[in-house]
Amino acid sequence: MFSNAVILEGEELEVTRGYLVISGGVVKKISEGSPPGKATNLKHGFILPPFINAHTHVVDSVGKELYLGKRQSKVVGPSGEKFKVLISRPIREIVAAAGATLQDMLHTGTLAHYDFREGGTAGIGLLKQISSTPMKSIALGRPTNFKEFPKVLETADGVGLPSLGAFDPDELIEIARQTRRAKKLLAVHVAETKSAQETSVKYSGWSEVQLAIELNSSFVVHATHATKQDFVLLKKKRVPVVFCPRANNLLSVGTPPIHIALLTGTRFCFGTDNAMVCQPNMFEELSFAWACLRSSTHSAGSNDARALLKAATVAPTTFFDLPWKPIAEGEKATFMILARRDNLLNISDVYAGLVNRARADNIRAIYVNGKVI
């Protein structure tokens, strides 16, 4: 039992100042005030859901900082630096580097990630070899060619396409149809660069976002150069967007329009994209996203900060099938506890304070099904 806690409860992360009781691996009671018996005093520390990183490429951890001095297409485009390094390094080095990244994700409060896994079925096998519980790695495979697609679909949790131009239109339609029939996830990078957005409109008359929606994508990644009209459509079709603000900035492709997603009511979450570009640390992603939002609009306030925190924690549990739900009585006791010390003292707004200032060194414990990991 924990007392004197600030509990961020439910899908809306409503604040309850009081106590939380765990029994049999689930949250038995959440209440305001003081508990009836002995409890661990959190001294106004926070109990909040763990992070979900909705877009990673963890296996490229072996190529850290190889983006220096290069444009995005030369780093992650076809035959870019990323693929050169993945081909040239021994498997044991790749495995060790990605393993260290997954450990870092756990240490920084992330318990699930959606990984775009290149390299066909072998690539999916590699991620499965590296990842272990309690991390939930969702592998979205990339077939090296259309012939390999059925095997990739069979082994992976879904398909993660680098772009809509990676396959012929007929093949794309087939990939989308079969993925949907298999009840697996289909995701695609869209409008990451200005030229990707413009090229798509030029050739088909549709934007990349519109094409991705037509293909029944489960979610789209980036939308950095998507228009307001694209966001209105995403909202209408209930297709979530994964924003990757730090990776976009570090690859000099722009800043995602988080303010437009908020304005249009589009569902969104956050990802950290290529591990070769930045660490998959969701505390850092959140504070950077907050700075991006505030640079677009000075009116961004507590509710917007709450929306960002939701996007990094509970939002994906409402779009996808994950082993835990938002913190509530009767749900699994899966959450993290942040100590209120130093950087988190004297914050006047819980949401903006956490989004802007919380760090991994505030983590006091992470609980999965009522047990400390």
Instruction: State the residues that interact with Zn ion by CB under 5 A.
Output: 273
Phi/psi region, residue 44 (left: phi>0; alpha: psi -120 to 50; beta: rest), is left
Which residue, 53 or 266, has its beta carbon nearer to Zn ion? Answer: 53
Structure token digits, residue 29:
């009671």
Least Å from the CB of residue 289 to Zn ion: 16
Which residue, 277 or 355, has its beta carbon nearer to Zn ion? Answer: 277
C-alpha distances in Å from residue 296, one per residue of 193, 220, 287:
19, 22, 14
- CA 118, CA 192: separation in Å to the nearest integer? 18
In 145-216, where does DSSP find H-type helix?
Answer: 149-155, 169-181, 194-204, 208-214
Amino acid at 326: P
**What string of DSSP letters covers 107-124?**
HTTEEEEEEEE-SHHHHH
Phi/psi region, residue 147 (left: phi>0; alpha: psi -120 to 50; beta: rest), is alpha
Query: Are the CB atoms for 307 and 293 separated by under 8 Å?
Result: no
Least Å from the CB of residue 160 to Zn ion: 8
Least Å from the CB of residue 308 to Zn ion: 20
The CB-nearest residue to Zn ion is 273
Least Å from the CB of residue 161 to Zn ion: 10
Strand ranges for 207-358 from DSSP E: 219-222, 241-243, 268-270, 273-274, 335-338
Least Å from the CB of residue 242 to Zn ion: 9
Structure token digits, residue 262:
């908020």
Least Å from the CB of residue 291 to Zn ion: 21
Least Å from the CB of residue 271 to Zn ion: 7
Least Å from the CB of residue 55 to Zn ion: 6
Amino acid at 338: L
Least Å from the CB of residue 134 to Zn ion: 24
Which residue, 273 or 304, has its beta carbon nearer to Zn ion? Answer: 273
Angle, CA 113 vertex, CA 250 and CA 108 arms, to 5°: 70
C-alpha distances in Å from residue 118, one per residue of 78, 159, 215, 371:
11, 10, 20, 34
Which residue, 140 or 211, has its beta carbon nearer to Zn ion? Answer: 140
Q: Is the dihedral of CA 254, 114, 359, 302 positive or negative?
A: positive
**Other CB atoms closer than 10 Å to residue 185's CB: what's the count?**
22
**CA trace torsion 326, 263, 247, 302 (10° rounding):** -60
Which residue, 289 or 300, has its beta carbon nearer to Zn ion? Answer: 289
- CA 280, CA 137: separation in Å to the nearest integer? 13
User: Which phi and psi angles does 342 have, rounded to 5°?
Assistant: 40, -100
Which residue, 9 or 273, has its beta carbon nearer to Zn ion? Answer: 273
Which residue, 189 or 340, has its beta carbon nearer to Zn ion? Answer: 189
Least Å from the CB of residue 116 to Zn ion: 5
